[in-house]
């Protein structure tokens, strides 16, 4: 039967021969489908791409899953061997708290905000006439104490720097560090407001806006990603649990940072990929590429840290931490941080490449594995370029303040690059990018090996509108 019919008789006469040829072609297609597929699937019309069930070979599936089981077992053994001694961690925490001294934290509410009566410039030193030093911003706060021994009292506090520049307003809630008033007898009150302790603003309470932002983020993820987005949020909770329960206490207890990072990264990726994307060969290929990327990033970062002589103490936080906890291996901490920082982008790259290979096979079952690999790598090269930009700008944005400070030193560029805080960011960017880039061809090659081989004379059936449809390759 012809696919379409015209009302005028002249058109029918002119196209009769063509219609006959089209009917013959349709009949040949129908016979070809009937010969290629089981009788229950030999239809000329199809409303779905799920008519053909093409599976990855059983041998490849068994080998792939066997290798992953071995890696999962090694990860479990690593978790057991490197699991932190929480008693030791508690002792270290108590010792660090003791070093801080008799310091407690209370909450207060800002009652008023005024500018400090301070000069903008200090007097220039004799050797640098005319070059005064700019004083940081200063504000005078009246704070009502909401907790602690002086609860219900008011205290005047001057804040400078980041606190003064944060835009504090009346009724904001702040956290104050409380220390003893030296020279006062126990129970004796000092200062004009009859306070027993001295107070300084240490932090701003941001719980409500952060909670709203977090709920908005979760709502957007679920609204757009639906069930897959919900799974991603659950996997994110698991990843946070691994970091809090294993990575942080393990490093504090003096464990090897590199090994802790590798084991934690492997555990997170096993849970994240299979939980979010399902247990199938497509996800398995992405996991193989991810594990390879983890190994590459670990190796490159370890070599870079050793050869560049990084101490891991280049920033203020690490320097303060080194005075409180002597057990931490700060060079291992650097390698662990590089690895953990690259996991998200690494996961993105590998799952995208695996999905690209599967979609190419589904759209073109007649393509060879070599052609599939070449086509997927063209997609991967575009992804590589954007990924390198992502990693670079992420690290530059995090270190922008440091870069400005070093830029103002007016020193040669090579000397600036040799500063530990700048060199550390270079190592982070280079090591992470190398692992991400090499994970692209590795994942693509593994996925191309896992997909079924090319189907010669692959038949394309037609749907109800006469369009050709290709069979779907299911990710078993």
In angstroms, the CA 139 to CA 141 distance is 6
| Domain extent for 433 | 58-84+218-469
pLDDT confidence tier of residue 475, bands split at 50, 70 and 90: very low
Same domain, 258 and 399: yes
Question: Among 35-44, 82-91, 120-129, whose mean pLDDT is lowest?
Answer: 35-44
Residue 247 lies in a domain: yes
Q: Which two tokens stand for residue 5?
A: 């019919």
Same domain, 263 and 201: no
Spell out where 28-124 has E strands: 104-115
Check whether 144 has a pLDDT greater than 60.
yes
Structure confidence at residue 159 (pLDDT): 84
Same domain, 153 and 229: no
Q: Could you report the per-residue pLDDT of 146-158, keeping only the tens digit for each?
A: 888 888 888 888 8
Same domain, 395 and 285: yes
Residue 145 three-state SS: strand
* Bridge partners of residue 468, in order along the sequence: 462
Q: Could you report the per-residue pLDDT of 62-90, keeping only the tens digit for each?
A: 999 999 999 999 999 999 999 999 898 88
Residue 252 lies in a domain: yes
R_g of the chain computed on alpha carbons: 32
Structure confidence at residue 367 (pLDDT): 87
Q: Which two tokens stand for residue 357?
A: 């290979």
Residues 154, 143 contacting (CB under 8 angstroms): yes
pLDDT confidence tier of residue 12, bands split at 50, 70 and 90: very low
In angstroms, the CA 475 to CA 355 distance is 9
Structure confidence at residue 79 (pLDDT): 95
Q: Could you report the per-residue pLDDT of 348-390, keeping only the tens digit for each?
A: 899 999 999 988 888 888 888 899 999 999 988 888 877 777 7
Q: Which of 205, 231, 263 is the last residue of a domain?
A: 205
Residue 262 three-state SS: helix
In angstroms, the CA 437 to CA 18 distance is 53
In angstroms, the CA 76 to CA 266 distance is 10
Q: Whole-number mean pLDDT of the chain?
A: 77
Residue 245 lies in a domain: yes
Residue 210 lies in a domain: no
pLDDT > 70: percent of the chain: 72
Same domain, 317 and 443: yes
Structure confidence at residue 412 (pLDDT): 67
Question: What count of residues does the chain have?
Answer: 476
- H or E element at residue 378: helix 369-398
Check whether 443 has a pLDDT greater than 90.
yes
Same domain, 167 and 227: no
Same domain, 131 and 225: no
Structure confidence at residue 182 (pLDDT): 60
Query: Which string of DSSP letters, residue by residue, matches 263-326?
Result: HHHHHHHHHHHHHHH-SSHHHHHHHHHHHHHHHHHHHHHHHHHHHTT--S--SHHHHHHHHH-S
Where residue 177 sits, what CATH number does that domain have?
2.40.50
Number of domains forming the structure of the chain: 2
How many other β-carbons are positioned within 10 Å of the β-carbon of residue 303?
13
Q: Which two tokens stand for residue 56?
A: 């990855």
Mean pLDDT, residues 272-297:
92
Same domain, 234 and 158: no
Structure confidence at residue 46 (pLDDT): 35
More confident residue, 398 or 15: 398
Same domain, 285 and 150: no
Instruction: Count how many Cα atoms sit within 13 Å of the Cα of residue 385 in the half-sphere of its side chain.
Output: 5
Check whether 187 has a pLDDT greater than 70.
no
Structure confidence at residue 411 (pLDDT): 66
Residue 21 lies in a domain: no
Mean pLDDT, residues 451-467:
60
Structure confidence at residue 178 (pLDDT): 82
């Amino acid at each position: 039967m012809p696919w379409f019919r015209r009302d005028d008789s002249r058109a029918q006469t002119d196209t009769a021969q063509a219609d006959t040829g089209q009917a013959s072609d349709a009949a040949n297609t129908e016979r070809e489908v009937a010969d290629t597929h089981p009788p229950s699937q030999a239809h000329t019309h199809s409303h779905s791409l799920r008519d053909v069930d093409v599976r990855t070979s059983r041998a490849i599936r068994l080998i792939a899953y066997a290798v992953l089981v071995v890696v999962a077992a090694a990860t479990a053994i690593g978790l057991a061997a490197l699991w932190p001694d929480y008693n030791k961690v508690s002792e270290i925490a108590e010792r660090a708290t003791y070093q801080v001294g008799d310091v407690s934290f209370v909450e207060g509410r800002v009652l008023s905000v005024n500018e400090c009566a301070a000069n903008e410039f200090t007097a220039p030193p004799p050797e640098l006439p005319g070059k005064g030093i700019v004083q940081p911003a200063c504000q005078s706060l009246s704070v009502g104490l909401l907790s602690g021994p002086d609860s219900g009292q008011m205290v005047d506090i001057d804040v400078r720097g980041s606190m003064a520049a944060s835009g504090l307003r009346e009724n904001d809630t702040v956290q104050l560090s409380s220390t003893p008033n030296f020279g006062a007898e126990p129970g004796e009150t000092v200062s004009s407001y009859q306070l027993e302790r001295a107070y300084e603003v240490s932090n701003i309470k941001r719980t409500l806006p952060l909670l709203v932002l977090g709920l908005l983020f979760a709502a957007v993820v679920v609204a757009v990603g639906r069930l897959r987005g919900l799974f991603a949020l659950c996997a994110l909770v698991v990843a946070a649990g691994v970091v809090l329960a294993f990575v942080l206490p393990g490093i504090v207890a003096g464990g090897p940072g590199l090994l802790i990072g590798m084991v934690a990264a492997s555990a997170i990726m096993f849970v994240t990929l299979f939980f979010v994307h399902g247990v199938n060969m497509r996800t398995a290929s992405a996991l193989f590429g991810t594990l390879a990327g983890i190994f590459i990033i670990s190796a490159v970062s370890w070599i870079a840290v050793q050869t560049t002589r990084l101490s891991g103490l280049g920033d203020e936080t690490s320097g303060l931490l080194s005075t409180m906890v002597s057990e931490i291996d700060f060079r291992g901490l650097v390698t662990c941080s590089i690895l953990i920082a690259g996991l998200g982008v690494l996961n993105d790259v590998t799952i995208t490449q695996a999905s690209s290979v599967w979609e190419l096979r589904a759209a073109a079952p007649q393509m060879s594995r070599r052609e599939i690999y070449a086509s997927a790598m063209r997609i991967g090269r575009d992804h590589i370029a954007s990924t390198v930009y992502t990693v670079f700008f992420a690290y530059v944005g995090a270190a922008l303040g440091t870069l400005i400070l070093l830029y103002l030193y007016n020193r040669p560029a090579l000397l600036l690059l040799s500063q530990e805080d700048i060199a550390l960011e270079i190592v982070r960017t280079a090591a992470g990018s190398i692992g991400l880039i090499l994970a692209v061809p590795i994942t693509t090659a593994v996925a191309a090996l896992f997909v079924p081989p090319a189907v010669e004379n692959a038949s394309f059936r037609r749907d109800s509108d006469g369009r050709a449809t290709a069979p779907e390759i299911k990710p078993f």
